[in-house]
Amino acid sequence: MSRNFIPAVLSIGVGIVSGYYIFQPAIRELEAEKLKTPQAPPAQSPPGQSPPVQSPPVQSPPVQSPPVQNPPVQSSSSVSDNKE
């Protein structure tokens, strides 16, 4: 059992260390951005008025590509007619 346990623990440890090393710059950048721009609390509307309704984002229609046209295929009988 210990023969299989050591490689598994070692590979998990290597995966954790490499993931930390790879994603460390991105995590630090996100932390710095989060600390630099504090989020303001949402504005409240005066009593008796409903809050403004936000419309959903507009989605553009999908782009349609033109149909693919295959070149004409030559029949194999015209090639075999050239034999003498």
36-70 as b/e: b if 16+ CB within 10 A: eeeeeeeeeeeeeeeeeeeeeeeeeeeeeeeeeee
- Asked if the model's pLDDT at residue 9 lies above 90, the reply is yes
Residue extents of the structural domains in the chain = 8-36
Dihedral-angle region of residue 46 (phi above 0 means left; psi in -120 to 50 means alpha; beta otherwise) = beta
- Between 48 and 7, residue with greater pLDDT: 7
Residue-wise pLDDT for 14-53, tens only, equals: 999 999 999 999 999 999 988 887 666 656 656 666 666 6
Q: Are 51 and 45 in contact (CB under 8 A)?
A: yes
Q: What is the mean pLDDT of the chain?
A: 76
